[in-house]
Amino acid sequence: MNDGEFGGQYVPQELKKELDLIEKNFKEAMEDKEFLKKYEYYLKQYVGRPSPLYYAENFTKFCGGAKIYLKREDLNHTGAHKINNAIGQVLLAKKMNKTHIIAETGAGQHGLATATVCSLFKIKCTIFMGKVDIEKQKVNVDKMKLLGAEVKSVTRGQGTLADAVDEAFEYLLEHKDVFYLIGSAVGPAPYPEMVKQFQTVIGREAKQQILEQEGKLPKAMIACIGGGSNSIGLFHDFIGENVDIYGIEGAGKGLKTGKHASSIYQGKIGILHGMKTYVMQDENHKLQEAYSISSGLDYPGIGPEHAFLHEMGRGKYDSITDDEAIEAFKILTLEEGIIPALESSHAVAYAIKIAKKYHKEDCIIVNLSGRGDKDVDTIFVY
Ligand SMILES: *Cc1c(COP(=O)(O)O)cnc(C)c1O
């Protein structure tokens, strides 16, 4: 995929060498039958794939439009899509003879997936996490520690996700034995492409499943966007098809309030974490803080391939507020007995908005990127 002006490698020269080495190994791995066999084995036997594509009949009635199918990434081991990528990258690190994995995490979901896979493959694991996030996400921090990972508290800047990424890159530069496992389709090349490839299993399965169940392709698909990995993983196999694609960012307390996580809405192109993309920044290129009630969405940028799809007009990028997401969380739970992650609830909320624009015989696939157990406290406080 050519992402036009987006993406690239905006990093120091020493880091470029390391990134080129990762790219070389990644390309080899993608051609290596043994590597792919191992990756698929763990997706099936450890993660529990394929995840079902579930026809949500009650929810469909509620929405009053097209038939809504849920891609159940919430049923994966550790409760979200992030493990697909973590397994792929840890296998790659092992192929490169690395002995130490590092990762950044915001809400702790990627940290948890990484610590889990490191425990499975017996490899040392350090998670960089903002001090503020550590205080907010005690359960995930405790789980990571139980899994044998070291959790490093990041105090610079705001003490949140973007700062944890900066610190992880610095650590990578100083340590030869380290592999940096990025959790979303962001960062310098080859990360966005690599993370995408390890998530395309979502869309590959969904395409086969919808053809089996409906005998035709969906008219639309919807996924939430933090950095953009569950979405690009679902979309990839459908980009060449006649299917409407919706990527949904967090509108937080409302786009006009400035308290949101919608970098495309803000419309400013800049450099963040080694890539060129849409970034939430002010006139002086100073990074702004992203906000969403769902910590998995409050990233102040977006993966470069989404920036490209937006620019080309191939994908429609929109946003959903905290209030709308909470409402959708409650509705799906009551209608289907499925508690969605607050992140995924943004995609669910968008389905409620647009289902009526499609015929009743049409289908829409909504990516249920994760389960909502972690969010129950938030919903009750709210
Ligand atoms: C991390 C996370 C997201 C957002 O990340 P993407 O890379 O945009 O997919 C969405 N949903 C869940 C459940 C997550 O844990």
Residues 317 and 352 in one domain: yes
Q: Let me know if residue 258 belongs to a domain.
A: yes
18 is catalytic: no
pLDDT at 3: 61
Residues 139 and 24 in one domain: yes
Closest residue CA from atom 4 of ligand 1: 226
> Which of 112, 140, 297 is the pocket-test mutation for ligand 1 (most atoms within 8 Å of CB)?
297
Q: Compute the distance from residue 129 Cα to the ligand 1 centre, in Å.
A: 16
Q: Let me know if residue 25 belongs to a domain.
A: yes
Residues 186 and 269 in one domain: no
**pLDDT (tens digit, 0 to 9) for every residue of the chain, 382 residues total?**
456 699 999 999 999 999 999 999 999 999 999 999 999 999 999 999 999 999 999 999 999 999 999 999 999 999 999 999 999 999 999 999 999 999 999 889 999 999 999 999 999 999 999 998 898 889 999 999 999 999 999 999 988 888 999 999 999 999 999 999 999 999 999 999 999 999 999 999 999 999 999 999 999 999 999 999 999 999 999 999 999 999 999 999 999 999 999 999 989 999 999 999 999 998 888 999 899 999 899 899 999 999 999 999 999 999 999 999 999 999 999 999 999 999 999 999 999 999 999 999 999 999 999 999 989 988 987 6
Q: Let me know if residue 39 belongs to a domain.
A: yes
Final residue in a domain of this structure, among 174, 195, 216: 195
Final residue in a domain of this structure, among 158, 180, 195: 195
82 is catalytic: yes
3-state secondary structure (DSSP) of residue 271: strand
List, in sequence order, every residue forming a beta bridge with 365; answer none if it has no partner.
69, 221
Final residue in a domain of this structure, among 179, 195, 211: 195
Q: Let me know if residue 1 belongs to a domain.
A: no
How many domains, the chain?
Answer: 2
Q: In what order do the strands lie in the sheet with 100-105?
A: 150-154, 124-130, 100-105, 178-180
Q: What is the CATH number of the domain that holds 151?
A: 3.40.50.1100
Catalytic, out of 82, 196, 207, 219: 82
Residues 267 and 168 in one domain: no
What percent of the residues of the chain are helix, what percent strand, and what percent coil, each to the nearest 5? 50, 20, 30
Residues 211 and 152 in one domain: no
The torsion region of residue 264 among left (phi > 0), alpha (psi -120 to 50) and beta comes to alpha
Residues 249 and 108 in one domain: no
Q: Is 195 exposed, middle or buried (0-12, 13-18, 19+ CB in 10 A)?
A: buried
Q: Let me know if residue 5 belongs to a domain.
A: no
Q: Which atom of ligand 1 is nearest to the CA of 74?
A: 13
Closest residue CA from atom 3 of ligand 1: 296
Q: Let me know if residue 328 belongs to a domain.
A: yes
Q: Let me know if residue 343 belongs to a domain.
A: yes
Residues 101 and 215 in one domain: no
Residues 243 and 340 in one domain: yes
pLDDT at 54: 99
Residues 173 and 70 in one domain: no
Residues 348 and 248 in one domain: yes
Residues 221 and 293 in one domain: yes
pTM: 0.97
**Residues near 210 by beta carbon (within 8 Å), at least 6 away in sequence:** 53, 69, 216, 217, 218, 363, 365
Residues 282 and 295 in one domain: yes
Q: Which range marks the domain in which residue 336 is found? A: 48-79+200-381
Q: Let me know if residue 8 belongs to a domain.
A: no
* Residues 62/336, Cβ–Cβ less than 8 Å: no
